[in-house]
Chains A and B, each alone.
Chain A
Amino acid sequence: MSRKLKDDVVLKVDDLSIVYQTNRGDVKATNDISFELEKGKAMALIGESGSGKTTVSLSLIRKLPKNAVVTKGQVLYQQRNGEVQDILKLSNNDLRKFRWQECAMVFQGAQNAFNPVLKISKHFEDTAYAHNWTDKKAIRERALNLLRLVRLDPERVYDSYPHELSGGMKQRTLLALSVLLNPQIVILDEPTTALDILTQRAIIDVLNEMQEKLNFSIIFISHDLSLAAEMADVVATVYAGEIVEIGDVNDMFYNPLHPYTYGLLTSVPTLDHTEDLLKSIPGSPPNLINPPTGCKFHPRCEFATDKCKTENPLLLADEGTHLAACWHPDKVLEARKETV
């Protein structure tokens, strides 16, 4: 294949558009989404429910529901040997290899994804067998190493049934299982939602350690800004199926350029500020069957002008690393400076 990616880029999503065909009309779940994921980096997709975060992540492993149609775009993946594939065009056989061996996904609430009648060891073995790895002893050895890495008592957990483990332990076991075949990318959908604070802390620490040791890239989806602040190198804000802002984690938190990112930042209370100046974003996310004209955020935006109502601002590529799809980024920046 002739397509080339930069050496340090493992995944490149190009103008990806996906619609869900429903009785009420086409739901434009993602629109012209483009981003690059670098090797060994963690990227966070943040946004409210229904913003299209999960759709993006599912398309990366081609696990979209049946009524979803990719109308445009490509997802390029660079293998360890430098060969580039378009995931959307892989044959079924290649796709089976790609999943888990190259890119693993941990789904939301996946603590409940274990088969309750199979031991943890069986889950590890089944995964390995499906990828033509049949040496039971070697599998066990690798599994125990990984379980140790996620700070569990490996022997005990490996021989347990899922119901014998607590929620946090299951989540950690799952993380170990996801990297069993040494994938280059791990996708995490809301990895800490529904876990207690102290368990969340353990998961975050474990993930950071794993990433350091095994050097995979992470894409994680969350509505929790704190998690993004703690773990991500790059943050992308998703609104109404579009990436409206993307940039380095510090840029995104300290100098947001899009009013939606700014709005999210000013709507979460923090522990160490004495008095918070918080406000909600008015309104609610738009209907994606008939999205608003112009900038999709304009009905909820405090900085909107007439231009925003008619012209959709684009997220321009190849121009620095911090991009925002907004006509008035300077106003947003100014407002953020005033609140901090």
Chain B
Amino acid sequence: MSQPIMRLESIYRSFKQGRQIVPVLQDVNFNVNSLEFLCLVGESGCGKTTTGKILSGLLPPSSGKIYFEGQDIATLKGIEKQRYRRSVQIIHQDPYASLNPTQTIFEMLSYPLFHHKFVKDHTHARTRVGELLELVDLTPVEDVIDKYPYQLSGGQRQRVSIARALTTNPSVIVADESVSMVDVSIRIGLLQMMMDLRDQLNVTIVFITHDLALAKYFAWEGRIGVMYLGRIVEIGKTQELIADPQHPYTKVLLSAIPEPDPEKTRNKQHIQLRSEDIPRLTELPSGCAFHPRCPWFVEDVCDVETPKLGIAVNSSNNVEVSCIPLQQGKVLNIYDT
């Protein structure tokens, strides 16, 4: 396998809230392989956005190392550092908040082009912005290029955001909930466009979402990482993870999701949690953070030892899980509960 384009190594990140310290990420490790579809999934507050920001360099980790093309980014300086910042771009969630309302689309997209000297003059910039808008299917370009964001619909704005992320010829794009603010009927169009961009421009896209079905669609050929309270609890090939989830949290999550099919969704077996309350990040349970809710909780193991990612022994999958009973070879049977 080729070298991963990015790697996170035991990343911790905490925020101060008054006198309290909130640990948002704990011991996060994963690789972003070149040109793969990687999706991070989790509920609100699990740290997926923070991970995205750390990947794109918008937020430094409290501790841990980030590697970009094999180099620790903390050691990068000058031109090298600039190259990293250019190469990793982020698309934010809300296209109504992330575009400057006082700038036209052209001003917005040409600024980074001039700043990084990708273009020499105005005419050149206009051609390049036109190309970018065509890439994101905002055509005819003349109709859009001199407009302000308020003149565009939500879907069009998100396309502008994507075009803006492409201005610096990035090799990695972090898309943070990039389609959750647009209407259902146009989501898939946006997603398909982003998937096409990978082939056209050789960018690796890390997609962050709370919607497992969407993650499955996007990363069908790639991998999914499931996060819970600041840790990755399961990561592996999408097709294996969806067909045969290993970690209790993933199992519960998959069983809980309603599906757009009346027969199936009504006959689906739901795994009951031991508790419905999500622990606060400031009062995290000892051991595995999921143990107070986990239906397969093993006393004196799960509440004592903090699990790390590893292979589940009795599984044909290559999926990595952070669950001690699984790593010791326990089989989690649904009818146990």
Interface residues of chain A, those whose CB is within 8 Å of chain B, are 48-49, 151, 166, 168, 196-202, 204-205, 223-230, 249-250, 253-254, 263-265, 267-272, 274-276, 278-282, 284-285
Contacts and interface: CB of A to CB of B under 8 A. Distances in A.
A229 B213 contact: no
Interface in B146-180: 153, 155
A199 B278 CA distance: 9
A202 B273 CA distance: 10
16 contacts: A196-B210, A197-B212, A197-B256, A198-B273, A228-B260, A229-B259, A230-B258, A250-B262, A250-B263, A253-B262, A268-B213, A274-B239, A276-B217, A280-B187, A280-B192, A284-B183
Interface in B238-275: 239, 242, 252-254, 256-266, 270, 273
Contact of A279 (B188, B220, B260): B188
Contacts of B183: 48-49, 223, 284-285
Contacts of B186: 267, 280-281, 284
A284 B261 contact: no
A280 B260 contact: no
Nearest to B186: A280
A281 B257 contact: no
B44 interface: yes
Interface of B: 43-44, 153, 155, 183-190, 192, 210, 212-214, 216-217, 220, 239, 242, 252-254, 256-266, 270, 273, 276-278
A168 B270 CA distance: 18
Contacts of A274: 239
Given A229-B259, A253-B261, A278-B217, A267 B242 contact: no
A6 B155 CA distance: 45
Contacts of B189: 279-280, 282
Nearest to A46: B184
Given A48-B185, A263-B185, A280-B186, A168 B276 contact: yes
Contacts of B258: 200-201, 204, 224, 226-227, 229-230
A270 B270 contact: no
A229 B214 contact: no
A-B pairs, top 3 by smallest CB distance, nearest first, are A280-B189, A269-B217, A226-B258
Contacts of A230: 258-259, 262, 265-266
Contacts of A270: 213, 259-261
B256 A272 contact: no
Contacts of B44: 196
A201 B270 contact: yes
A41 B273 CA distance: 29
Contacts of A205: 270
Contacts, number: 119
B155 A229 contact: no
A272 B253 contact: no
Contacts of B213: 268-271
B161 to A, nearest CB: 17
Residue among B186, B188, B216, B261 with the highest chain A CB neighbour number at 10 A: B261
Given A198-B273, A270-B213, A253 B256 contact: no
Given A48-B183, A281-B185, 14 more contacts: A196-B43, A197-B256, A201-B270, A225-B260, A228-B260, A230-B262, A230-B265, A270-B213, A270-B259, A270-B261, A280-B185, A280-B189, A280-B190, A281-B186
A229 B262 contact: yes
Contacts of B190: 280
A269 B278 contact: no
Nearest to B41: A197
A272 B184 CA distance: 19
Contacts of B188: 267, 269, 278-280
A226 B270 CA distance: 15
A228 to B, nearest CB: 8
Residue among B185, B190, B212, B253 with the highest chain A CB neighbour number at 10 A: B185
A227 B256 CA distance: 12
A282 B217 CA distance: 19
A282 B193 CA distance: 13
Nearest to B44: A196
A271 B270 contact: no
A204 B265 CA distance: 12
A323 B273 CA distance: 41
A225 to B, nearest CB: 4
Residue among B254, B260, B265 with the highest chain A CB neighbour number at 10 A: B260
A284 B155 contact: yes
B302 to A, nearest CB: 18
A262 to B, nearest CB: 11
A336 to B, nearest CB: 13
Contacts of A268: 184, 213, 260
Contacts of A279: 188-189
Contacts of B253: 197-198
Contacts of B216: 269, 271
A287 B264 CA distance: 36
A202 B262 contact: no
Contacts of A271: 212-213, 216, 242, 254, 257, 259
Contacts of B264: 272
A200 B256 contact: yes
Contacts of B184: 48, 223, 225, 264, 267-268
B217 A249 contact: no
Contacts of B217: 269, 276, 278
Residue among A271, A281, A284 with the highest chain B CB neighbour number at 10 A: A271
Contacts of B212: 197, 271
B262 A249 contact: yes
A226 B256 contact: no
Contacts of B239: 274
